[in-house]
Chain A
Amino acid sequence: MSPTDPSNQPAADALLRVRGLQKSFGSNQVLASIDLTVGRGQVLALIGPSGSGKTTILRCLNGLELADGGTIDVGGELALDFATAPTKKQLAALRDRSAMVFQHYNLFPHKTVLENVVEGPVVVQRRPKAEVEAEALALLDRVGLSAKKNSYPFELSGGQQQRVGIVRALALRPQLLLFDEPTSSLDPELVGDVLRLIKELALEGWSMVIVTHELEFAREVATEVAFVDGGRIVEHGDPKQMLRHPKEERTRQFLHRLLFPF
């Protein structure tokens, strides 16, 4: 067992198991060797300085970046070994398991809110349009945006756009939700709505990996937090424990800088 494997997690319950994940861009090694495990219904928060590789981890999980080495295992039924390049089919299967919420929302500007949400389920997953739309409207209603279903993204505030981004991810019915700094582009007064929604989803039992700088949020919502630096997971553990009493000096310095920026 790798040293960073959370020993408190029974293997059978693991939804996501990553081992030895490596990624370089040219001569720049971004991920040295990443091991992480996410159990079903668990929330893993990735924290760390910018350029540490945490976003690259997320992108590898969704196949937006191809890892150079290591393995990703989802649900015990899909195992990818990046020692050899995955086939298109394997990559599609990997994407199928997870859905991502982007820092800059990345909504489709030429489609309405409702069209943004149903595009994947209808066009890619080929589910019946009426059923998907009903489900999408229920989700939009839940985030308080059903009145905006025919609006275009530019007509929405950042917070509204990000909630649509979350609904778009949910509508794909993924096993795992990936959040890439979901509130970093938002005006401060809009952050709360989005974080509250993510917290609700966590309480409902969605499995998630969240890259975030919101330490308070990580402490409250995550079941585990991992500090990423230099392409490695330096330290991980229970959020309440680790964020208060980090064992590693680098973690301590990072937390200190976040808490006392000047």
Chain B
Amino acid sequence: MNQSAWELFWTSLGPIVHGAIAGTIPLALASFAIGLALALGLALMRLSRRGWVSGIARVYISIVRGTPLLVQLFVIFYGLPSLGILIDPWPSAVVAFSLNVGGYAAEVIRAAILSVPKGQWEAAYMIGMSHRRALTRIILPQAARVSVPPLSNTFISLVKDTSLASLILVTELFREAQQVAAFSQEFMLLYLEAALVYWVICLGLSSVQSVLEKRLDRYVAH
């Protein structure tokens, strides 16, 4: 790389990292938090003995997983205004990503709950717990351990998928890179730089994941 390329790299790192800190990361965190809450609700609905309750969740999950995230994003941002519902770029992106994560993580959480042995429910009932208390105090803490690796995958995918928000005018990592690229005409450099920053973020997340797994593994035989 020649000197001017280096210079461009360093000067553009500012806006790109800013895009990550002000856009990508908060967008991913907010969507993941809301999405997880939604996913827990959907997972419990899926496990319900009432057919219509689990049916609703099943249909929801099927739609979310069966349609492209980009299409979901466009329906919310460009589609809803024709019904008179106008949502700003940022909240549109949070809504779309949360609904999406909700659908994917629901199946992870459902599987994790089912992976806890039946005897744990029985022991919880035996000591007098209600269903809800058994779930929150006995079952979910054990399900959490099982679901950390797959949920980390979901979160890492989400971080990268937030780049789609650039298409509905959200100022985030990739949109910043695009703007500098358009201005400087150095497409290869800027897009590789954007890729590098995504990669660094995901490396950080992977190490958070392994810390979390170690912490949750403290009560399991190795």
A residues with a Cβ closer than 8 A to B are 62-64, 88, 92, 95-96, 99-100, 102, 104, 106-111, 119-120, 123-125, 152-155, 168, 172
Contacts and interface: CB of A to CB of B under 8 A. Distances in A.
Q: 7 closest A-B pairs (Cβ-Cβ)?
A: A120-B127, A106-B123, A124-B128, A106-B119, A152-B219, A154-B221, A100-B126
B127 A124 contact: yes
Contact of A168 (B127, B129, B137): B127
A64 B138 CA distance: 17
5 contacts: A64-B125, A108-B120, A111-B219, A119-B127, A154-B221
Given A125-B128, A172-B128, A102 B122 contact: yes
A96 B123 contact: no
Contacts of B220: 109, 154
A61 B14 CA distance: 69
A152 B218 contact: yes
Interface string B104-132: 00000000000001011011111111100
Given A106-B120, A106-B122, 20 more contacts: A62-B126, A88-B130, A92-B128, A92-B130, A99-B126, A107-B123, A108-B120, A108-B124, A109-B219, A110-B141, A110-B142, A110-B219, A119-B127, A120-B129, A124-B133, A125-B128, A152-B218, A155-B221, A172-B127, A172-B128
A39 B127 CA distance: 23
A4 to B, nearest CB: 27
Contacts, number: 63
A106 B117 CA distance: 9
A63 B125 contact: yes
Contacts of B128: 92, 95-96, 120, 124-125, 172
Contacts of A92: 128, 130
Contacts of B122: 64, 102, 106
Nearest to B218: A152
Contacts of A110: 141-142, 145, 219
A162 B219 CA distance: 18
B220 to A, nearest CB: 6
Interface in B174-208: none
A119 B126 contact: no
A88 B117 CA distance: 23
A92 B117 CA distance: 22
A179 B154 CA distance: 44
Nearest to B116: A109
Nearest to A120: B127
B123 A108 contact: yes
Contacts of A95: 125-126, 128
Given A110-B142, A123-B137, A154 B127 contact: no
Contacts of B124: 108
B119 to A, nearest CB: 4
Contacts of A109: 142, 219-220
Nearest to B131: A88
Nearest to A154: B221
A109 B145 CA distance: 11
A95 B133 CA distance: 15
Nearest to B122: A64
Contacts of A153: 219
B196 to A, nearest CB: 39
Given A63-B125, A104-B119, A109-B142, A119 B137 contact: yes
A148 to B, nearest CB: 14
A94 to B, nearest CB: 10
A155 B219 CA distance: 8
Interface in B140-184: 141-142, 145
Contacts of A108: 120, 123-124, 138
Interface string B204-222: 0000000000000011110
Contacts of A125: 128
Nearest to B216: A110
A110 B141 CA distance: 7
A123 B129 CA distance: 8
Contacts of A99: 126-127
